[in-house]
Structure 1
Amino acid sequence: MEAILVGIYAFFVWLIFFKFKLLPWNTTSKVIVVTIPVVGLTWLILTLNVIAPSSADVRVIKYTVQVVPQVRGRVIAVPAEGNVHMKKGDVLFKLDPTPYEQTVRSFESQLASAIANAKNLGEQLKAATSKTEGIRAQLDLAQKRVAEFTELAKTEAGTKFDLEQALANVKQVKAELAAAEASERQVKEQIGAQVNGEQAQVAAIRAQLDNAKWELSQTTMYAPADGTVINNQLRVGSWVVPMPLQPAMVFVEDEQQILALYSQNELYNVEPGNEAEIALPTYPGEVIKTKVQSIVWAQGQGQLPMSGQIPQTGAQPLPPGRFAVKLELEEKHRDLFLAAGATGHGAIYTEHLKPVQILRRVIVRINSILNYLVLKLH
């Protein structure tokens, strides 16, 4: 763009000083002719960098999901194909569900038994209470006999053996009563132990059954969003385990971020909502309309790692880092496919000196057209 402006300026100089000779071509005019474009272009470039800052580092970033199964197992099907677009909820791969189905059936059987047992607890309590009362009656009778044999022994009307036998019977009945009372307490505790209104044993088995069903559901993995599986190496017969460091595949979502990186002093006039344009080599000749969503006022140099050591300051200052500006597509280009990792250039148009910003718009369009050039020799 600067070369075009210089060419236009040189054309008018030729007309004025050489074609029509309206002014003399002397030392003074030469100095003026050379000074005007130097000062003018310098002012123009410095002004554009403030009111319409440009960036040669615009990046398209997409979210990636490390697909890690929650359960282990042998892969029996892989419907997902590498680099083929999928919808949210499409099946990625399936594991052999047999062991998990067996676990579910086992807990279902245990739950049915526990529910039946819980329903019988009332009858068991009645039986335990009745047994306890019967043994108490036997104990009362045995104690009366001890009293009777004691009196007889005093008058020598009874034998010492009968008294000892009666005392032994009392001990035996007391032991039976203790066992019956323990059994009754156990039944009462089982009836009283409840979780969310359900008998505790039933609730525990139901929780195990729910977990078994959840594990069974995890034998089929689904696409977490609209996107694409990249470099799919998973095959039928592979064994996968729930380890974060060993994902089964990588899923790239369609959702994206567009970041433009700027130096610190380029952004003091930029505000959310400002118009912006980008040009990517993947779409040569096209200017993509965006707007500023936000400025990420943070970068790695603003963070010190957690350590017990005093941070090193270095022998010289670090090169200044850049700050990212998040851009969002305008409605016109909302459905435009942008490749993850695509790079390009762009500009942001602030609310200052809008007429001058026309030059920046022209530069963006020229650069977009230059994207048609494939500059390699083979």
Structure 2
Amino acid sequence: MEALLIGIYSFFVWLIFFKFKWLPWNTISKAIVVTIPIVALTWLVLTLNVVAPSSADIRVIKYTVQVVPQVRGRVIAVPAEGNVHMKKGDVLFKLDPTPYEQTVRSLESQLASAIASAKNLNEQLKAATSKTEGVKAQLDLANKRVAEFSELAKTEAGNKFDLEQAQANVKQLQAEFAAAQASERQIKEQMGAQVNGEQAQVAAVRAQLDNAKWELSQTTMYAPADGTVINNQLRVGSWVVPMPLQPAMTFVEDEYQILALYQQNELYNVEPGNEAELALPTYPGEVLKARVQSIVWAQGQGQLPMSGQIPQTGPAPLPPGRFAVKLELEDRHRDMFLAAGAVGHGAIYTEHIKPVQLVRRVVLRIGSIMNYLVLKLH
């Protein structure tokens, strides 16, 4: 920017003093010609850095998703192609579903059997209740006979053997009655053990079946958003496992963030909502309009690791870090394709001394046009 302004200033000096010779070229004019650009440029640059701070480090950052399957298996299809745009829900790859389908069928059979067993418990409870009542009736009758034989034995009108036989029958029926009650209680306990209104055994098998169906659904992986699979190396026949440190592929979403990095003292006039402009080499000659969404008032130097030791600051102090400003493109530019990792330069226009900001706008547009130049010798 400074070189451009000096060039323009030199052109006017040449016109005034040499081309048209409107003023004499003497010692006084030479001193004035040299002093004016020094003072003016110093004031202009310092003012612009405050009211319209620029950044030569503007970055486009996109979200990346490490695609890790939830189940293991052998790959049988890979519809996703590297560097080809995909829509949310498109199939990325498929695993062999055979073992998971077999597990689902097996659990479906077990569930049907458990439901049948649960229904059979009602019949078993009815039978156990009837048996308990029958044994109870027999036991009551046997107790009456013991009482009758006891009265006859007292008057010596009855047979002692009959009394002993009746007492033995009572003991036998008491044992049968206790066993019938225990069986009835066991069936009631099985029926009373419920989860969400369902018999416990049925609920357990159903939960296993639901998990098996979920695992089966995970044999097909889908695109989590609109985006692109980058450098796809997955092939049919590969074996993938659910390990976070070993993703099957990397998916780059279309959604992006634009960050402009500034020194600390450049931002004290910047506020959310301020107008911003940026120029990217991927779109030479074009200036993208944006707004300041927020200032990220945090960076790595503001964090110390959790430790029982005193933090090490190093033999020399760390250089001051920069803070990121999040920019949001205006609606007319929001649907433009921006490559992940694209960099450029830009400026933020505050609400102070707006006429001076015109210089920054001109310089930014000249820089955008300069992006057309590919400065290399091969």
TM-score with structure 1 setting the length: 0.92
CA shift in 2, pair 1:11/1:341, >3 Å: closer
The aligned amino acid for 2:121 is L
Q: How does 1:1-378 map to 2 (within 5 A)?
A: 1-147=1-147, 166-378=166-378
SS of aligned partner of 1:272: coil
Gaps of 5+ in 2: none
Deviation at 1:241, TM superposition (A): 1.2
Cα deviation, residue 190, structure 1: 3.0
Give the secondary structure class of the aligned counterpart of 1:278. strand
Letter in 1 for 2:317: P
Cα distance per residue 1:219-258 (max 9 Å; x no partner)? 1110000011111111111111111111111111111111
Change (3 A) 1:18 1:77: closer
Counterpart CA distance in 1 for 2:160 and 2:286 is 119
SS at the partner of 1:246?
A: coil
Evaluate the alpha carbon distance shift between residue 376 and residue 104 of structure 1 in structure 2; reply closer, same or farther with a 3 A threshold: same
Partners of 2:194 and 2:141 in 1: CA distance: 39
C-alpha displacement of 1:174: 2.6
Distance 1:214 1:126 in 2: 38
Label 1:15 to 1:373 Cα distance change in 2 as closer, same or farther (>3 A).
closer
Q: More displaced, 154-163 or 253-262? A: 154-163
Q: Report percent identity of matched pairs.
A: 88
Q: 2:366 & 2:191 partners in 1: Cα distance?
A: 83
Offset at residue 262 of structure 1 (A):
0.5
1:294-325 CA deviation, whole Å, 9 max, x = no partner? 11110001111111212223343210000011
1:21 and 1:284 map into 2 onto residues whose CA distance is 40
Following TM superposition, by how much is the alpha carbon of 1:114 offset from its aligned partner in structure 2, in angstroms? Answer: 2.4
Aligned CA distance change for structure 1 residues 343 and 185 (closer, same or farther; 3 Å):
same
CA distance, structure 2, for counterparts of residue 131 and residue 17 of structure 1:
127
CA displacement at 1:165 relative to structure 2 = 5.2
Offset of residue 29 of structure 1? 2.6
Alignment root-mean-square deviation, CA:
2.2
CA distance in 1, matches of 2:157, 2:246: 91
Q: Which moved more, 1:141-150 or 1:124-133?
A: 141-150
Q: Deviations over 1:134-160 (max 9, x none)?
A: 112232344445555666777777787
TM-aligned CA deviation for residue 105 of structure 1: 1.5
Q: Which amino acid aligns with 1:238?
A: S
User: Which segment is superposed worse, 56-65 or 95-104?
Assistant: 95-104
> In the aligned structure 1, how far is the partner of 2:225 from the partner of 2:315?
48
3-state SS in 1 of match to 2:336? coil
| Post-superposition CA distance 1:159-193 (Å, at most 9, x none) | 87766655544443333222211221122223333
Distance, in Å, in 2 between the alignment partners of 1:222 and 1:343 is 31
Deviates more, 1:181-190 or 1:152-161: 152-161
Cα distance, 1:334 vs structure 2: 1.3
Decide whether aligned partners of structure 1 residues 132 and 317 sit closer, same or farther in structure 2, where only a CA change above 3 A counts.
same
Instruction: Classify the secondary structure of the residue corresponding to 1:361.
Output: helix
Letter in 2 for 1:366: I
Distance 2:323 2:133 in 1: 84
Q: 351-360 or 6-15: which moved more?
A: 6-15
| Distance change in 2, residues 1:365/1:16 (3 Å) | closer
Change (3 A) 1:126 1:286: same
What SS does the corresponding residue of 2:298 show, helix, strand or coil? coil
Given the two structures, how large is their TM-score scaled by the length of structure 2? 0.92
Q: 1:168 to 1:250 in 2, by over 3 A?
A: farther
Quote how far apart the aligned CAs of 1:370 are: 1.8
Secondary structure of the structure 1 residue equivalent to 2:291: strand
Q: Distance in 2 between matches of 1:312 and 1:369?
A: 47
Change (3 A) 1:128 1:67: same
Secondary structure of the structure 2 residue equivalent to 1:8: helix
Call closer, same or farther: CA 1:244–1:24 in 2, change over 3 Å.
same
Q: What letter matches 2:187 in structure 1?
A: V
1:243/1:169 CA distance change after superposition, 3 Å = farther
Name the SS of the counterpart of 1:57 in structure 2.
strand
Structure 1 residue 118 displacement after superposition: 2.8
- Pair 234,166 (structure 1): closer, same or farther in 2 beyond 3 Å: farther
The 2-side partners of 1:277 and 1:23 are apart by 41
Superposed displacement of residue 9, structure 1: 2.3
TM-aligned CA distance change 1:102 to 1:39, over 3 Å: same
